[in-house]
Amino acid sequence: MSVLADFASSVRERRPRLAVVLGSGQSSVLRSMQETAAIPFADVPGVPAPTVVGHSGRIVLGDLESIPVLVFQGRVHFYEGHSWDKVAAPVRFAADLGITTLLLTNAAGGIHPSLTPGSMMILRDHLFWQRPETWRGPTPADCPSLLGDRPSPYSSRLIGELREASRGLGEPLHEGIYAAMTGPTYETPAEILALQKAGADAAGMSTAFEAETGQSMGMECAAISAITNKGAGLDDSPLLHHDVLNVMNRIRDRLGLLIAAFTRRIS
């Protein structure tokens, strides 16, 4: 039996219902998880290995709070040169293995005044501004709209469960709109101002297309942004990936506890 077939067999035997995709610097947030099987992204056809520091590129089957979960330690991004098909490949892989609930996390820049480095935000909706010629429409054929006129891909039920999980931990948790930008550069101060006026509370370079893919495949989706910096121009600090990872290290344990509490609630 191949490594992939053996891993898929283990997943189907354990029958996890939750998949967690961990963002920048978050690969080790679930330190209490008991790992039972793992496979590198590159061993799954169509799933490329991440090239960004802070994304280890492993798919792990394990027990979190004695509950089986499938965890993607890192993700691939459109800005790495991948097609949208490859960006969404981990989500499709999870759906094909019978996963019905998807929790996405990311590192993001805070735009709303209450979102300072170290805070966390539940995604209520997003601005998917990674499409080519976003402002012109209709959506180009190479990045199809998966949702059409359907509502936000983020489940109101799961948002409620995250809210209750955070309340039980005494963990302040904001809710807001995430702007998915192309990257790989950080936004300019003028772009952050435009996003602010458009209603965005935080900005990053991932998550939106994965959530839309998950919902299109019948998965119930939720997402959390870990705020690692203020948006460009909102304070005097330079934006450096190294600093993003350092702040993420400070948030890591709190995020892990929140994911564990959320897992208990939905199981």
pTM: 0.91
Q: What is the pLDDT of residue 140?
A: 46
DSSP strands (E only) in 79-167: 101-110, 120-129
Query: Cis before residue 132, ω within 30 degrees of 0?
Result: no
Domain 3-266 has CATH 3.40.50.1580: yes
Q: What is the pLDDT of residue 145?
A: 52
* H/E run at residue 63: strand 58-64
Q: What is the pLDDT of residue 120?
A: 97
Half-sphere exposure of 211 (CA within 13 A, CB side): 25
Which residues is 191 bridged to in the sheet? none
Q: What is the pLDDT of residue 133?
A: 52
**Closest listed residue to residue 221, CA positions, set 124, 129, 148:** 124
Question: Which phi and psi (to 5°) does residue 140 adopt?
Answer: -65, 155
Give CA separation, 40 vs 102, 120, 192, in Å: 19, 28, 35
Burial class for 67, CB neighbours closer than 10 Å (0-12, 13-18, 19+): middle
Give residues with Cβ within 8 angstroms of 241, minimum separation 6: 24, 53, 54
Q: Give the whole-angstrom CA distance, residue 75 versus residue 215.
A: 18
* Cβ atoms 36, 14 nearer than 8 A: yes
All structural domains of the chain with their residue ranges: 3-266
* Cβ atoms 174, 267 nearer than 8 A: no
Those residues of the chain that have pLDDT short of 50 are: 135, 138-140, 147
Q: What is the pLDDT of residue 149?
A: 56
